[in-house]
Amino acid sequence: MKTLIRGGHIVTATDDYQADILIDEGRIAVIGQALAVQADQVIDARGLLVFPGGIDVHTHFDMPFGGTTSSDDFASGTKAAAFGGTTTIVDFAIQSRGRSLQEGFEAWLAKAEGKAAIDYGFHMIVSEARPEILNEMSRMVDQGVTSFKMFTAYPGVFMVDDGGIFRAFQRAAEIGAMMAMHAENGSVIDVLVEQALARGETAPKYHALTRPPQLEGEATHRVIVLAELAQAPLYIVHLSAADALDAVIAARDSGLDVYAETCPQYLFLSYENYEEPGFDGAKYVMSPPLRPREHQARLWRGLQSNDLQVVATDHCPFCMKDQKILGKDNFAKIPNGAPGVEMRMSLIYDGGVASGRLSLNRFVEITATMPAKLFGLFPQKGTIAVGSDADLVLFDPEGQTTWSAATHHMRVDYNPYEGRVTRGAIRQVLSRGEVIVDGPDFRGREGWGQYLKRRPFRRP
């Protein structure tokens, strides 16, 4: 099957030109001007931008958490991702306490296989640093799970002490793996939560007030020091606060292999959302929490200056009706997480490119190319080049998109950006050469997505 995309304006992290793209058997075969070739299907892309498919390296589909399970599974979540211009996700498999990494990996493969509509890989959450688990890390790398996530937060669930984190960092350095860290000081947060509840402070906003930015800054600095000592590459996930960004900037300025992602919610939403009437603040209960508005400009600046390299979503949706409500009388029982996978590309285009903060190239770099490079997927994914997978987004810069729970494709009963209009509209999305989104229609299928065996870490 050959597909010709005619006359689009191709944008990669480095290029920006008009050309035709010939796709053969799911890969980009030829790029050139006015190509004189036969194809089974011709797509007219004149007037449209053609981006590499987005790569969201932080999703939680079908994840048991906070006494419930995230409401998107691999079928609904990857379909929503596709509508949002994302053609690859890297989700988090979990090593449950008392179980092996292999069991966690196989459990998440089973959740995704036959369901995912786009290609997918896994990071592995390490929730214990026992010798058996540390030994097993290399087996994960052999199977394409080349990054691990650990937590300085959520004591009793995922948190591992500093010695355990350090041991895992040393192991990662030996086997060429990337360590991803959720950096908040969980022990101190637990004290603040206990004290707030004792004062009768139970509303959603206390989730944010008991997780101050200083505790993200402290934990970020701490894990950077541990990674430096262990000589392991480090990736800070869902960075939300200027305090944490300062630690990342200092590390990068001294030449360390330290990288960080932020997420749209920290760029567009703020602490004020917790003060919405009634229980609505629960929509935004996530960790780290939304920050006071002044942090946003620092994060945008971080993206501009390459102090932040990636925008991912931390997509972890819970319905208001029967999930967030678990914390009606106690903010600490509200499941942590929010939806984002469908809006990421549109929000960053709107707030980045259309607002003049980011070039088109930088937009592609932080939404596709750097995620691919940092997580062992480049150049199969993350660019438009001969030989790369034909994962493409045809984007109309003159269009616009209105966000609402009534029209989004995520399986969740609210949208944190309800009513927001973003400039630009996704017209078509291709995954390995197949049109999977065509205007309002889904033309993909459950099970089309393939497991991606990722390469070990290589400095980008």
Residue type, 322: D
Question: How many residues belong to the site for ligand URP (CB under 6 A)?
Answer: 9
* 267 scored as a contact of ligand URP (CB under 6 A): no
Q: Whole-number minimum distance, CB 316 to Zn ion, in Å?
A: 6
Q: Which is nearer to ligand URP, 313 or 401 (CB)?
A: 313
Q: Whole-number minimum distance, CB 182 to ligand URP, in Å?
A: 5
Q: Whole-number minimum distance, CB 341 to Zn ion, in Å?
A: 12
Which residue of 60, 79, 167, 381 would you call a contact of ligand URP, by CB under 6 A?
Answer: 60
Q: Which positions lie near Zn ion, rule CB under 5 A?
A: 182, 314
- Hey, which residues between 219 and 258 contact ligand URP (CB under 6 A)? 238
Which residue of 79, 182, 381, 427 would you call a contact of ligand URP, by CB under 6 A?
Answer: 182
**Could you tell which of ligand URP, Zn ion, none binds residue 336, using a CB distance below 5 to 8 A set by kind?**
ligand URP
Q: What angle do CA 446, 448, 454 make, to 5 degrees?
A: 120
Three state DSSP letters for the chain: CEEEEEEEEEECCCCEEEEEEEEECCEEEEEECCCCCCCCEEEECCCCEEEECEEEEEECCCCEECCEECCCCHHHHHHHHHHCCEEEEEEEEECCCCCCHHHHHHHHHHHHCCCCCCEEEEEEECCCCCHHHHHHHHHHHHCCCCEEEEECCCCCCCECCHHHHHHHHHHHHHHCCEEEEECCCHHHHHHHHHHHHHCCCCCCHHHHHCCCHHHHHHHHHHHHHHHHHHCCCEEECCCCCHHHHHHHHHHHHCCCCEEEEECHHHHHCCHHHHHCCCCHHHHHCCCCCCCCCHHHHHHHHHHHCCCCCEECCCECCCCCCCCHHHHCCCHHHCCCCECCCCCHHHHHHHHHHHCCCCCHHHHHHHHHHHHHHHCCCCCCCCCCCCCCECCEEEEEEEEEEECCCCCCCCCCCCCCCCCCEEEEEEEEEEECCEEEEECCEECCCCCCCCECCCCCCCCC
Q: Which is nearer to Zn ion, 20 or 261 (CB)?
A: 261
Q: Whole-number minimum distance, CB 374 to ligand URP, in Å?
A: 17
Q: Whole-number minimum distance, CB 431 to ligand URP, in Å?
A: 25
Which residue of 82, 230, 234, 286 would you call a contact of ligand URP, by CB under 6 A?
Answer: 286
* 171 scored as a contact of ligand URP (CB under 6 A): no
Site string for ligand URP, 413-452 (x = CB under 6 A): ----------------------------------------
* 273 scored as a contact of ligand URP (CB under 6 A): no
* 93 scored as a contact of ligand URP (CB under 6 A): no
Which residue of 177, 248, 316, 360 would you call a contact of ligand URP, by CB under 6 A?
Answer: 316
* 287 scored as a contact of ligand URP (CB under 6 A): yes
Burial class (CB in 10 A: 0-12, 13-18, 19+), 450: middle
- Hey, which residues between 368 and 387 contact ligand URP (CB under 6 A)? none
CA–CA dist 155, 111 (Å, integer): 26
Q: Whole-number minimum distance, CB 14 to ligand URP, in Å?
A: 31
* 314 scored as a contact of ligand URP (CB under 6 A): yes
Q: Which is nearer to Zn ion, 314 or 391 (CB)?
A: 314
* 95 scored as a contact of ligand URP (CB under 6 A): no
Cis peptide before 64 (omega within 30 of 0): no
* 186 scored as a contact of ligand URP (CB under 6 A): no
**Could you tell which of Zn ion, ligand URP, none binds residue 286, using a CB distance below 5 to 8 A set by kind?**
ligand URP
**Could you tell which of ligand URP, Zn ion, none binds residue 362, using a CB distance below 5 to 8 A set by kind?**
none
Q: Whole-number minimum distance, CB 2 to ligand URP, in Å?
A: 41
Q: Which is nearer to ligand URP, 287 or 388 (CB)?
A: 287
- Residue of this chain nearest to ligand URP (CB atom): 336
What residues make contact with ligand URP under the rule CB under 6 A? 60, 182, 238, 286-287, 314, 316, 336-337
